[in-house]
Amino acid sequence: WISPELAEQYVAGVIILAAAPCTAMVFVWSYLTRGDPAYTLVQVSVNDLLMLFLFAPIVKLLVSGASSLTVPYEVLLYSVFCFIVIPLSAGVLTRTVLVRLRGRRWFEEVFLPHFHPISIVALLSTLLLIFAFQADNITGRLLHVVLIAIPILIQVYFNASLVYFLMKRFRVPHRVAAPGALIGASNFFELAVATAIALYGPASGAALATVVGVLVEVPVMLSVCAFCNRTRGWFEAASAQECPSPMPGCCANWSSFVGAE
């Protein structure tokens, strides 16, 4: 069974995971639901800024309050610096320099398409390394993995449902409602895993809990994407471009676009 000490580790890991809202993967979820790219970018930027200032104090407060584990504040700050400040600064600097030297059109039409495969490979490599280093933990504690996954599943589906139905209630367009629900439900698992390992070690329960979050996130978020796509007809379209093939299920006001060019 689970000892009190190990249970505290699991609680700490889940807290660290929940305190890190998603950034990069949201662009994938938004693309799969035909979300508004500009809105998605703004949401990701807001998440980055929030984590920059709030991730460390939130983790410190909640982990210290929910367990007897020590939470070195310096380690949290190092994690924020390494996984948020450095990548964010590098991205801003790269864009600024290249746009100034080659122009925005070259940056968006040449550089970004060539850089996109590299980012995908880097993400997949990160996932591969995470699972490779935690393989023994995952296979040796299957019951623990299932128990850890339950609150993570509840968090994802509750957050996504709450945001999605609130946006429907306030008549927000689907292209905003879908990525809004998705970004509220997913997590910045790279930061969470790295922080848990830095705080308590790669073999710790906290590290396992964050890795379970990675294990659960992809299939669960794909199911949320599928639900958002199936319920597109609940939302009204603002223009004919959002409802290119007017028919039931395309959008709530599909009949108003019949015959529109």
pLDDT in tens, the chain (261 residues): 788 899 999 999 999 999 988 877 888 889 889 889 889 988 888 888 888 899 999 999 999 999 899 899 999 999 899 888 898 899 889 999 999 999 989 988 888 888 878 877 887 787 788 778 878 878 888 899 999 999 999 999 999 999 999 999 998 988 899 999 998 888 888 889 989 999 999 889 999 999 999 888 889 999 999 999 988 888 877 665 666 555 555 665 555 655 555
254 DSSP assignment: G
What is the DSSP secondary-structure string of 235-248? S--SSGGG-SS-ST
pTM above 0.85, yes or no: no
According to the model, what pLDDT value does residue 119 have? 75
According to the model, what pLDDT value does residue 249 have? 57
C-alpha 28/C-alpha 181 separation (Å) is 13
According to the model, what pLDDT value does residue 96 have? 93
Q: Structural domains in the chain?
A: 4-230 (1.20.1530.20)
Cα angle for residues 180, 182, 187 (degrees, 5° grid): 120
According to the model, what pLDDT value does residue 210 have? 93
According to the model, what pLDDT value does residue 116 have? 74
According to the model, what pLDDT value does residue 137 have? 79
Whether 156 and 221 have beta carbons less than 8 Å apart is answered as yes
Category of 258 on φ-ψ map: left (φ > 0), alpha (ψ -120 to 50) or beta: beta
Question: Tokens 């799969």 correspond to what residue?
Answer: 32
According to the model, what pLDDT value does residue 16 have? 94
